[in-house]
Structure formats: C-alpha cells, structure tokens
C-alpha cells in the first residue's frame, strides 16, 4: 500500500468525535403518489463509519451499537470491508486500499434492520470511485446496486429487487446520494411508465459520535432499529386497508457465483 493509501485509511476530521464516526439525527419521509396517495415520516439516527476504523465502544455501551458482517450481504464470518470488496470485485471494481464510508443503523439491543445502507467508496488517492446502495426487505432478502454518481451525487439504475408488495419489480430508481458532510441529504425516486409513484428522503444533521451523544440518541429514539420494522409493517397494513393490490414476491433465483449481484438478489 502506498503512503497516500495508508493515510486514507486512518480517521480524519470528516468523522469527528472519539470514535472516528458521526451520528446523524434524521427525518425519513416516504411519499406514494400512485395508485393512491399515502405519506408518512419518522425520526431516527444513523451512523456514518469508516469500514477500516469501526467504532470501539466502552463495554457498557456495546449493546447500543454493534457493526457485524452478518447483518449485511456476504460471508457472515468475514468483515464488512472484505465482503464489500468481494462484491465490488465481482462487478469489476478494485478498491485497491481506498477508503469506504458506510451510512447505516447499528445493531442495537439485539436488533437491526436497514432498509437502506449506503457505502461511499474511494480509490487509493481518495478520489470517489463508486457508491453502493444496499437494500433490505422485510422478507430477509437483500440486494446491492452499484452506482456511478456524477459530481452532483445523482445516479440512475433499473429496479431489480422486490421491496414492497405494492410495487412490482420494474421501473427505474433515480437516486441522489452525495457523501454526507455537516448535513445528510439522500433522495430516492422510483419511476414507472413515465410516472413518479414513490419518493423517499433522508435528511439529517451531523454530530460527533461519543458516549454522551449515543446515550442521548438512544433515549430520544428508544428501540430505534425495531421501530423501523414496526413502522414499515404498520404502513403496509394501512395500504392494504386502502385497497392497494399486492404483487406476489418473485421466487428466489439460485446463486450463480459468490459475491455476485445475482446471488444477492435471492430472497428466502
């Protein structure tokens, strides 16, 4: 590894606080415009971490935040970075020692559910290399989208994964995923047949990730990861009561090769 690559793999001022990580107090909104209008919002907190320098919490706080490879696609016995690197290699992308920042919820009080995890990948010189959007559904399935955003953070990709029972697997995502700074501002739009039936946004303000900040966030948002799952199911019941038709879940696709996108689209 070059000296520059090594420098990129050490914490810097972009992630303040004693753990070299950041916490974002977030507001998440979902808006469906078709076939019926339905909107909701909720608040939570998200972590931004460096995959080479995951936070090491004091033992009493560890139940509030764990980062495990088993909670994301890939080898559960491996590492988050190693599994992501294997996925990228299957897509013809070589991290080559570059830095990776991950935005996600941590496992807290024994539970985690990340509808969306975003990875910002850099090359060995610190230049943006690609972005990966990792989507999980409530059926235990997951899929990664490899994005090549422009300078404005915008990228487009075909929808390939069953997320909501109220949408089939078609259309195209228009994502705006700039790397977070003081503020977090992500937007995902689903386009179908020239329309725009779904928009999700994540907005947040950065703060340092230290013991006091984590305790405050956990008190403001108790059982935050469980609340996400409950919220999604509650909204699903409301949509059923509104009469939305349900699209059957596609049958799982047999895996073709380790670490490939085809393997990760499989859902139990």
pLDDT of res. 265: 29
Strands ordered across the beta sheet of 100-104: 142-147, 128-136, 116-122, 100-104, 38-50, 22-32, 195-208, 183-192, 172-176, 154-158
pLDDT of res. 5: 42
- Is residue 253 situated within a structural domain? no
- Is residue 266 situated within a structural domain? no
Domain enclosing residue 73, as ranges: 3-246
- Is residue 114 situated within a structural domain? yes
pLDDT of res. 245: 82
Strands (E), the chain: 22-32, 38-50, 100-104, 116-122, 128-136, 142-147, 154-158, 172-176, 183-192, 195-208
- Is residue 267 situated within a structural domain? no
Task: Give the residue among 209, 196, 245 at the shortest CA–CA distance from 46.
Answer: 209
pLDDT of res. 266: 28
Residue 192 CA to residue 88 CA, distance in Å, equals: 28
- Is residue 21 situated within a structural domain? yes
Residue 30 CA to residue 38 CA, distance in Å, equals: 8
- Is residue 260 situated within a structural domain? no
Residue 109 CA to residue 107 CA, distance in Å, equals: 7
- Is residue 213 situated within a structural domain? yes
List of the chain residues with pLDDT < 70: 1-14, 16, 252-268
Residue 4 CA to residue 22 CA, distance in Å, equals: 23
How many separate domains does the chain show?
1
| pTM across the whole model | 0.87
- Is residue 261 situated within a structural domain? no
pLDDT of res. 61: 95
């Amino acid at each position: 590894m070059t000296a520059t690559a090594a420098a990129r793999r050490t914490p810097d001022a972009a992630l303040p606080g004693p753990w070299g990580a950041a916490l974002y107090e977030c507001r998440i909104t979902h808006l469906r415009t078709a076939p019926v209008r339905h909107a909701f919002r909720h608040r939570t907190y998200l972590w931004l971490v460096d995959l080479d320098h995951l936070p090491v919490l004091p033992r009493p706080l560890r139940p509030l935040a764990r980062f495990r490879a088993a909670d994301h696609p890939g080898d559960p016995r491996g590492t988050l970075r190693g599994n992501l690197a294997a996925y990228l290699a299957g897509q013809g992308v070589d991290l080559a020692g570059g830095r990776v920042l991950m935005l996600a919820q941590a496992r807290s009080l024994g539970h985690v559910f990340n509808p969306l995890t975003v990875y910002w990948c850099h090359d060995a010189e610190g230049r943006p290399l690609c972005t990966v959007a990792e989507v999980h559904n409530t059926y235990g399935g997951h899929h990664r989208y490899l994005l090549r955003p422009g300078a404005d953070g915008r990228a487009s990709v075909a929808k390939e994964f069953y997320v909501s029972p109220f949408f089939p697997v078609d259309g195209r995502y228009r994502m705006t995923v700039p790397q977070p700074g003081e503020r977090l501002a992500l937007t995902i739009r689903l386009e179908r047949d020239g329309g725009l039936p779904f928009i999700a946004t994540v907005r947040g303000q950065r703060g340092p990730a230290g013991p006091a900040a984590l305790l405050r966030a956990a008190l403001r948002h108790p059982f935050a990861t469980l609340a996400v799952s409950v919220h999604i199911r509650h909204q699903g019941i409301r949509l059923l009561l509104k009469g939305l038709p349900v699209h059957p879940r596609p049958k799982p696709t047999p895996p073709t090769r380790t670490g490939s996108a085809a393997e990760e689209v499989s859902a139990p």
